[in-house]
Structure 1
Amino acid sequence: MKLFITGICGFVGSTLTKALLDHKADLAITGIDNLSRSGSWLNREILTKQGVKVVHGDIRNASDLEANGPFDWVIDCAANPSVLAGVDGQSSSRQLIDHNLGGTINLLEACKRWNAGFILLSTSRVYSIPPLAQLKVEVHDRAFRPCVADSSSWPVGLSEQGISEAFSKAPPISLYGSTKLASETLALEYGLTFEFPVWINRCGVLAGAGQFGHPGQGIFAFWIHSFKEKRPLKYIGFGGKGYQVRDCLHPQDLVSLLEKQFSEPLVTNKPRTVNLSGGVSNSMSLRQLSDWCEDRFGANKVVQTDTERPFDIAWMVLDSTKATNVWGWKPQTSIYDVLREIAEFAEGQKDWCQISAS
């Protein structure tokens, strides 16, 4: 089987590639990356040694795809993943849209040409912000959780297990979220129109060893590396206590589902879109994460601030019950195993935040 993986030198793309190679011996993998992230060249060297063909190119340029292929499947891991992208001054709104949406369009045109299946790794940020921002929460063990006493007024798609696929996707969802939701819609339309398989996998916070030390790349790795390097941190918003919660998922846990999606017939009753996450049992607040880091690395400065940021949400945990019921999928790596993996990697690095932060 021939796979084409975009963003292959990023954390998710490279980790997923290594996991796929470990699980399937009959894979020929080609990947593309523009190598714009600091530290991405390190993954390029590792992947090349594993027999992966890494193309230096940009999915925003259709011509960079034309010299490649055909392939059986395209897995799209390339994205500007920050919810603040396009509004934080680090990238323009046009750059965000060209990358996250324009790049998807070029890939879908390539899938049509190659007759290849398409798998999009999407995000929890396609879900509507206002009902989540207005959700009444309570503090339990240094972490927010939805107030159970208020459950009768919870919006459709929200339960104690998290946010399901039925939750509203009405705007605002951020520019980042809208590019991913638009990509989802286009991908499904292309698949139906040109008769190639499409799967949309909406992921929670992906984390693991080798993730770049930048908050937009993944809060768990950023926090752990910052603690290890004694870099000051901030609790931002929600009273500055650090009670905001996210779930955690290791990219290697996607492989068992991808293998089933590769094998599924084109005509199927299975839903094309599912949530994939660590769920409530693999979620944690920043305050809890700080306590874990302090036990491992010792004390570090964490400043409490009242600064509020746009699009921030106190509790964001995806409910992957549908993926379990339909595919038999469950996360295999516990959040504490993920944290230990990141910490062990951090202990073997020097100045990882500086190397990989830009």
Structure 2
Amino acid sequence: MDHPINHKKILITGGCGFIGSNLVRYLLAHYPDVHIINLDKLTYAGAFNVQLDALRHERYRHCQVDICDAPSLTQIVQEFQPDCVMHLAAESHVDRSIDGASPFITTNIVGTFQLLEVMRDYWQTLDTNQQQSFRFLHVSTDEVYGDAENISNAFTEATAYKPSSPYSASKGASDHLVYAWYRTYDLPVVITHCSNNYGPFQHPEKLLPKLISNATQTLPLTIYGNGQQIRDWLYVDDHVTALLTVLTHGKIGEHYNIGADECITNLEMAHLICQLLEEKMPLAQGQRQPFRDLITHVKDRPGHDLCYAINSQKLRQLGWKAHYSLKQGLTQTIDWYLQQQSKITSILKEEHQ
């Protein structure tokens, strides 16, 4: 279902990443009058998607630029004259942030600051009507909230920030910058906090594609600790429609949580993926061990949050709801990764050479 949107010239940062690339595809497929410029410096995650699906479209342009590069940002913005910004560019892998936080501080905090300054300068040149319709949509994460006590105490937009990793701390800092630019300079911003995303085009370093890929190669399905960490799983297309709902109907200066009410433990997720894979790749006598036998528990990572649960009632009041059940979304995700398996394996080998 299409969600009517008011903006026709959309600047997207991080549009070669997992969520960003799905957003770009959705917009091009459903909105024939929308033009997109995508600012993405092509880190390993962005390059992964570009290799899998090189976008060629007359209404789409990619600029390989770092959002910390203010002069380049200014030049592109002045040329394109966007009527909104959807800011998704971020370093986002928790394990990588623990191993080395510096890129997360640079991209997520400094980069967001530079983008805010460039867009503030640009916004101030617009006429009154253009200023009123302009939006700066900042895409954040539920991880800024830290641990929920349990599913019954789901995060609301009023939940205090308590980040546990360098990644979530850097995203929390960027959220505060965005809100400060609204309060101090009147820049028309909205902020979203999504739960764990999954779907096609996600880099295989993330939990779900890693489980799928390893299972098909009979490699260990590694689970941190006892696997009882609870996550709320959101199919990426549902996230995209939520972002477009907030872009069009969200109130300036407000935060909106995005979740699908699909909370299960990581261990349950591993077993569910194994079950779905068994249905698609039935076990032949003597060919291999059951996929579930590959599940292997490893040492838990530092500061690992035990429970994420999202209350999306505020967003639902804008008319949004998730359309994919967990089983529907996982089935489509598994099908896509099985179709792309040889290509993904080849790309990963190139990355590690």
TM-score over 0.5 for the pair: yes
2:276 pairs with 1:292: yes
Return the offset for 1:94. 1.9
Map 1:113-192 to 2 at 5 A.
113-115=121-123, 116-129=134-147, 132=148, 135=149, 146=150, 159=152, 162-170=154-162, 172-192=163-183
Match 1:307 to one of 288, 296, 299: 299
Deviations 1:321-351 (A, max 9, x none): 22113x1221112222221122111222215
Q: CA separation in 2, counterparts of 1:75 and 1:353? A: 31
Query: Taking structure 1 as the reference length, what is the TM-score of the superposition?
Result: 0.80
Unmatched segments (≥5 aa) in structure 2: 1-7, 124-133, 284-289
- Name the aligned partner's letter for residue 221 of structure 1: P
**1:193 maps to what in 2?**
184
Q: Which has the higher helix share?
A: 2
Instruction: Confirm or deny: 8 A CA contact 2:164 2:304 kept in the other structure.
Output: no
Deviations 1:112-131 (A, max 9, x none): 122152111111110134xx
After TM superposition, the structure 1 stretch with the greater mean CA deviation from structure 2, 11-20 or 309-318, is: 309-318
Task: Give the SS at the match of 2:222.
Answer: strand
2:202 and 2:209 in contact (8 A); partners too: yes
Shift of 1:225: 2.5
Q: Is the 8 A contact 1:245 1:285 kept in 2?
A: no
Shift of 1:356: 4.5
1:8 aligns with 2:47: no
Give yes or no for contact 2:188–2:253 (8 Å, CA) kept in 1: no
Who is 1:328 aligned against?
A: 319
- Contact 1:14 1:43 survives alignment (8 Å): no
SS of corresponding position for 1:333: coil
For residues 218-251 of structure 1, give each alpha carbon's deviation from its aligned partner in whole angstroms, at most 9, with x where no partner exists: x22222222233332212202xxx3433222123
**Match for residue 65 of structure 1 among 58, 66, 73:** 73
CA contact (8 A) 1:44 1:54 kept: no
Aligned Cα RMSD in Å?
2.6
Alpha-carbon deviation of 1:81? 0.9
Summarize the Cα distance change of 1:198–1:206 in structure 2 as closer, same or farther, 3 Å threshold: same
Is 1:39 aligned to residue 48 of structure 2?
Answer: yes
Is the alpha carbon distance of 1:356 and 1:253 closer, same or farther for their aligned partners in structure 2, counting shifts above 3 Å? farther
SS of the equivalent of 2:104 reads: helix
Alpha-carbon distance change, 296 to 316 in structure 1, aligned in 2, over 3 angstroms: farther
Provide the rounded CA distance (Å) in 2 between the counterparts of 1:282 and 1:276.
Answer: 16
CA-to-aligned-CA distance 1:139-183 (integer Å, 9 cap, x gap): xxxxxxx4xxxxxxxxxxx626x332333323x522111111111
Within 2, Cα distance between the matches of 1:43 and 1:103? 26
